Amino acid sequence: AELDKEADMLKEGVIKFGETHNPDAVAQHLF
């Protein structure tokens, strides 16, 4: 369940940051 929660946060982060950010970079910031 925790992994699902983190995955949702990752998705929300990508949506918030938009196309200008690299999803991999966003993931590194979250993890």
DSSP string, 1-31: -HHHHHHHHHHHHHHHHGGGS-HHHHHHHH-
CA triple 31-10-8, angle to 5 deg: 125
Predicted confidence at residue 2, as pLDDT, reads 84
Q: Give residue for tokens 């929300």.
A: 12
Whole-number Å distance between alpha carbons of 29 and 17: 12
> Could you read off the pLDDT of 7-31 as tens digits, one per residue?
887 787 766 666 555 667 666 766 5
- Locate the DSSP E strands across the chain: none
Please tell me the predicted confidence (pLDDT) of residue 19: 57
pLDDT at 17: 62
Q: What is the pLDDT of residue 8?
A: 85
Domain that holds residue 27: 1-31
**Residue 30: per-residue pLDDT:** 62
Whether this prediction's pTM lies above 0.75 is answered by no
